Amino acid sequence: MSRPLLQLATVCLVAVCAVGCAGNLAVSNIQTGRALNSDNSVSALTTAFKPTETIYVSVLTEGSGSGTIGVKFSYQGRVISEPEKKVSYRGAAATEFHIEYSGGFPPGEYDIEVLFNGQPAGMRKVRVES
């Protein structure tokens, strides 16, 4: 095989792997609640919390592949927490995030934005009530 042909074949193989290896992993649902199941899905779905409760978020995905899932918790327009996790799944899965505050959350509405590979993948609003 000639050198230019070998280089072209190598470039094509790398391009196919870059597309195929990323997989088709995608966010399918976002759950919020007070507790988790053993598979990291939310067991008690709710959008209303007491100031002393932990707010759990479960990002459900479908497909297979890898990527980075992030959650941006905001209160009154200010980001208060922005965790992210690198994931690699084969089939449906749930990725857990949570936020807690020992002093108690101030009452009001909180925005939860989910990002997949840095791109918006969905949003939920929860409310802390005194």
CB within 8 Å of 128: residues ≥ 6 apart: 49, 50, 51, 105, 106, 107, 108, 110
Q: Hey, what domains does the chain have and what are their CATH numbers? A: 24-128 (2.60.40.10)
pTM across the whole model: 0.82
CB within 8 Å of 105: residues ≥ 6 apart: 49, 51, 52, 55, 75, 128
User: Would you place residue 7 in the very low, low, confident or very high pLDDT band (cuts 50, 70, 90)?
Assistant: low
pLDDT surpasses 60 at 59: yes
User: Would you place residue 6 in the very low, low, confident or very high pLDDT band (cuts 50, 70, 90)?
Assistant: very low
User: Would you place residue 2 in the very low, low, confident or very high pLDDT band (cuts 50, 70, 90)?
Assistant: low
User: Would you place residue 33 in the very low, low, confident or very high pLDDT band (cuts 50, 70, 90)?
Assistant: very high
